[in-house]
Amino acid sequence: MEQNKFYVRYRKTEDNEYNYLNASNIEMNILGNFLIYDGRYGVSEFKEWALDDRYTSSGGNITLLEKENDFIIINDEFRERQGEALGFKIPKQAFINLLDEWDKVFNQKPLEILITYDGQKFTIETRK
């Protein structure tokens, strides 16, 4: 793995769900939790939220989302309540592109999913 790329990795379980395996840093861990827990049943509502300028915040069971100019900030809800908010700041278009790709990949149910991020773009790789 290149030093300037960050990653999060998942593996499919016997019950056809996904478990978080590991991540390169806490920001990618937060992103991973967002996708695997809050995005488990689809990410279209999060994409609609990101594109709708009327709303500045959203969230799910485990993460909180905020808009700041052309960025989306993802926070871990537990850390936020504990006063340890870190926030993973992602360009809005990169976030939207990731949601589009995640939806396609997640529905194919590969054995492993690896998401890398180079600071501008997310890439999803799978292993069957």
**Domain span holding position 79:** 6-127
Give the pLDDT of residue 1. 44
Bridging pattern class, strands 88-91 and 71-76: antiparallel
Predicted TM-score of the model (pTM): 0.88
59 lies in some domain:
yes
114 lies in some domain:
yes
How many structural domains comprise the chain?
A: 1
Helix (H) or strand (E) holding 123: strand 122-127
Give the pLDDT of residue 65. 95
108 lies in some domain:
yes
17-52 pLDDT, tens digit per residue, is: 888 899 999 899 999 999 998 988 789 999 999 999
- Indicate if the pLDDT at residue 8 is higher than 60: yes
